[in-house]
Amino acid sequence: MNTKFLQPFIGIIILLLTISCKVEPQPIEFGKDQCSFCVMNIVDKTHAAQYVTKKGKQFKFDAIECLVNDLSEKNEDELAIILVSDYGNPGNMIEAKTATYLISIEIKSPMGANLSALSTLEKAKELQQKHTGELYTWETLKERLSDK
């Protein structure tokens, strides 16, 4: 068999496998993408969330509480990236594990948990002073939402 004819096909296959396995988040298309948990359209830039598996599969959410509920049935060790929208900078995604969370009845979120994420503890405390509520870390937030 002549390998000269096979080399271009092998090269194309390797290229396609390399491109398709990128482990990075894709931008959320607000108004078009649907929540992977509740299937609502994602329209709110201040409460959206997403994660990417180590294999590169994308999961997008309309609210942080949908992300947390979805993750309660998954192994976080299989995930490469977990992001939440920064309430103080709508549309900007931040690392979920390092964010600080505020649950305040004065700030409505799409699924009713009144849950927002902020990039720093200082910004979260400022928002808490303005709107009241309770602050959480990633771990304490997961515990709080699993109690429901």
* Predicted confidence pLDDT, tens digits, the chain (148 residues): 566 666 666 666 665 555 555 789 999 999 999 999 999 999 999 999 999 999 999 999 999 999 999 998 888 999 999 999 999 999 899 999 999 999 999 999 999 999 999 999 999 999 999 999 999 999 999 999 986 5
Domain ranges of the chain: 27-146
Rg of the chain, C-alpha, whole Å: 19
- Determine the distance from the C-alpha atom of residue 110 to the mean position of all C-alpha atoms in its chain, rounded to a whole number: 15
Q: Which of 53, 11, 51, 20 is nearest to 35 (CA)?
A: 51
